[in-house]
Structure 1
């Protein structure tokens, strides 16, 4: 018991405890803020990876469209519903099934 009392009277111990409490709970970079920053960082890393994959895919598609005339025609027909002057285009849209609750 005397050892605990001596420890509580030690000014260095008290200052260290006060500093730790301040840094963990009251500082602008406390534990909660660090957790939020880590979550935001992980989200941004996932977004970066997604956009890098999308950019690579778009670059690949662009290279194919600029080098292959048949792919360009197929792309224009599928995406923009373009047609030749003597053709008719029929668009088939599948309806999604809705559950009635």
Structure 2
């Protein structure tokens, strides 16, 4: 085995391989990190495209008077002057209170 390490070509190949894998600015380790960053950015891009689609649907819904009225009634509990609103909360939607209270 020692005779292989005496060959100049084997030594040059080993030095070159170590250089390319660990030391060089374009090493395999840096390429792996950059590929991981690319995957993360692509996932983030897909997430934001999905959010844009949701926002477009919300804008389209709020562009009508019925959509604005529905949002005002459901989210902000607004009402017309001549009506009463009753909010019904189910037992599973209430937060559990401490036994001391």
TM-score class, shorter? 0.5 to 0.7
Deviation at 1:69, TM superposition (A): 1.8
Q: TM-score, normalised by structure 2?
A: 0.66
State the partner residue of 2:76: 80
Note closer, same or farther for the CA distance 1:91–1:30 as it changes in structure 2 (3 Å cut): farther
Aligned to 1:15, which of 8, 12, 15?
12
Aligned length: 93
What does 1:16-31 align with in structure 2 at a 5 Å threshold?
Answer: 16-31=13-28
48, 54, 57: which one aligns with 2:54: 57
Structure 1 unaligned segments of length 5 or more: list them.
none
Distance 2:76 2:7 in 1: 78
Shift of residue 14, structure 1, vs aligned partner = 2.5
How much does 1:32 deviate? 3.1
TM-score by length of 1: 0.66
